[in-house]
Structure 1
Amino acid sequence: MVKIYTEHSFLNADNRKIIFPLLFDLVYLPNDKARSNFNLTDSILEADVAIFPVDIISFLRKDKSNFFENWISKVSEYKVPIWIYAAGDFGLTFKNDNVLTFRLGGFNSKLSNNSCIIPCFVNDPYDRILKNDFFVLSKSEKPNIGFVGNANGSFSKLIKEFILYLRRNVINRKFKFPEDYHPFYPAGKNRHKLLQKIQKEDKIESNFIFRDKYLGGNKDKSIKEKTTLEFFKNIQDNLYTFCLRGNGNFSVRFYEALIMGRIPVLIDTDVRLPLVNSIDWTKHCVVVSKDSIIQDLLDFHLSKPDEEIRKIQENNRKLVLEKLNRVDYFIQISKLYLKK
Structure 2
Amino acid sequence: MNLIIEIIFASQFGLNVEHSWADAPVSGHMTEYVLAEDFIVLGYDPLGNTHGVPRFNATHPIKLKWDLSSACKQMIEQSLNEATALCNDVDLHVYVQNSYSKNFIKKCKISPDAYIQMALQLAHYRDSGRFDLTYEASMTRLFRNSRTETVRSCSIESSAWVNAMENSMITNTERIRLLRLACDFHQQQYRDAMSGKGIDRHLFCLYVISKYLKLDSPFLQNVLQEPWKLSTSQTPTQYGNPHVKSNTTADGVSAGGGFGSVDQNGYGVSYIISEDIIFFHISSRRSSRETDSQRFGREIRKALDDIRALFEETTKSA
Is the shorter-chain TM-score for this pair beyond 0.5, marking a shared fold?
Answer: no
Q: When the two structures are superposed, what TM-score results if normalisation uses the length of structure 1?
A: 0.21
Greater RCO, CA 8 A, separation 6+? 2
Larger-gyration structure (1/2): 2
Q: When the two structures are superposed, what TM-score results if normalisation uses the length of structure 2?
A: 0.22
